[in-house]
Amino acid sequence: MLARNTVLGATLAVALGATGALAQSDSPFSSLAGSWSGNGTISMNDGHNERIRCKAQYEVAPSGIIMHQNLRCASDSYKFEVKSSLQADGSQILGSWTETTRQVTGNVTGTIQGGTIATSVKGTGFTATLGVQTKGNSQSVSIVPTGTDIQSVKIDLKRA
Go through the domains of the chain in sequence order and give each one's CATH number: 2-159 (2.40.128.20)
0.75 surpassed by pTM:
yes
Span 20-64, pLDDT tens digits: 333 344 677 766 767 999 999 889 899 999 999 998 777 777 787
Strand residues in the chain grouped as ranges (E): 36-44, 49-60, 66-75, 79-89, 92-99, 104-113, 116-123, 126-135, 138-146, 150-159
Q: Which residues pair with 37 in a beta bridge?
A: 55, 158
